Amino acid sequence: MSHDDGGGFIACVSCGGLAAGPCARCRKPVCGDCCVLTSGGAAQWAVCLACDKSEGRSLRRAWLTVFGWLLTPLLALFTAYALLYWLFGD
């Protein structure tokens, strides 16, 4: 299964078969038999069995990380604004 560009098939990390795509968490290639589908997201993603066993198939932790990245700078700006308002007043 190769083509002119020199690529071949990508093997699944669990069984060595033909991989269907990467795991949504660890990005390792997995086949359809060695993955489960996620829950709690806008779309369903494949998660390898090792990640499912250790962290589960929910993407709640990933969404909390995204919201943390969004809210941390806003909180820092609000704190800076409040400090400057307190120092220099009205």
Q: What pLDDT, in 10s, does the model give residues 37-58?
A: 876 667 788 888 888 887 766 6
pLDDT at 86 (0 to 100): 93
Same domain, 9 and 50: yes
Q: What is the pLDDT of residue 88?
A: 92
Average pLDDT of span 4-25: 81
Structural domain count of the chain:
2
Same domain, 12 and 44: yes
Reduced to 3 states, what is the DSSP secondary structure of residue 29? Answer: strand
Domain that holds residue 68: 59-90
SS3 labels along 25-63: CCCCEECHHHEEECECCCCCCEEEHHHHHHHCCECHHHH
